Amino acid sequence: KNEVEQSPQNLTAQEGEFITINCSYSVGISALHWLQQHPGGGIVSLFMLSSGKKKHGRLIATINIQEKHSSLHITASHPRDSAVYICAVSKTSYDKVIFGPGTSLSVIP
Amino acid sequence: NAGVMQNPRHLVRRRGQEARLRCSPMKGHSHVYWYRQLPEEGLKFMVYLQKENIIDESGMPKERFSAEFPKEGPSILRIQQVVRGDSAAYFCASSTVVKLSDTQYFGPGTRLTVL
């Protein structure tokens, strides 16, 4: 079993829809990362969380340490949000990162 | 403040040649991480370095791969006698580790193709 799981694996949404991507992990962590990767592109760090909730523009990330679960929400989705979203965890913020398999999101106009 | 820089962005090598991938961390960052993304697979940790020290190399293949982060200059990931299975995207990340809230910042990656 992978230490970091994500669901769904693939997601297609209509422009404007509210999107949720889920991440669950089985190891003890102090930091959870949400990353974005466009096709053939680099990786952008969206959030790093250790507790609670963070918001940046239309993106919201939450984490429940007790349940070992995190969600990434995208409000008012747009085609430019189409990318692979990767959940990753680390024991500390400076420890090696263990990546989930990614969720491929496609937002259709 | 420039972000994490990696070069080259694309590298083509023939089997048996050497590949050298460079990573310049963000200014003020003293910690560098190398990750590999094989085709159709997820990202995997390779090695974590501080200046002149390898902290964790548990993800590095035991043969042909080496990494360094000298006192001056970029971090280098070196692959000797490359094989087709080494074709992948190699990402570098850096962090400050001044605060526990400091995140890792990723570079654009080097895409290695072995012919």
> Contact B112/B11 with Cβ under 8 angstroms?
yes
* Best of A36, A92, A93 to mutate (most B CBs within 10 Å, chain B): A93
Q: What is the pLDDT of residue B36?
A: 96
Question: Going edge to edge, which strands form the sheet with B5-7?
Answer: B5-7, B19-24, B75-79, B65-68
- Note the pLDDT tens digit of each residue in B76-102: 999 999 999 999 999 999 987 655 556
- Note the pLDDT tens digit of each residue in A24-65: 999 888 789 999 998 877 888 898 888 899 999 999 999 999
Query: Among A30, A86, A93, whose Cβ lies nearest the Cβ of B103?
Result: A93
Q: Is A100 in Cβ contact with B42 (below 8 Å)? A: yes
Counting as low any pLDDT under 70, the low residues of chain B are 1-2, 97-102
Q: Is B59 in Cβ contact with A45 (below 8 Å)? A: no
Tokens of B52: 């002149």
Q: What is the pLDDT of residue A31?
A: 85
CA atoms within 13 A on the CB side of A3: 13
Tokens of A61: 């990330």
Average model confidence (pLDDT) across chain A: 91
Residues of A in contact with B99 (CB under 8 A): 93
Q: Is A30 in Cβ contact with B103 (below 8 Å)? A: no
Chain A / chain B CB contacts < 8 angstroms: 67
Residues of A in contact with B93 (CB under 8 A): 97
Distance CA B4, CA B8 (A): 13
Does B56 lie at the interface with A, CB-CB under 8 angstroms? yes
Does B25 lie at the interface with A, CB-CB under 8 angstroms? no
Q: Is B105 in Cβ contact with A93 (below 8 Å)? A: no
Tokens of B101: 């809230």
User: What would the mean pLDDT of A64-92 be, rounded to a whole number?
Assistant: 93
Q: What is the pLDDT of residue A48?
A: 86
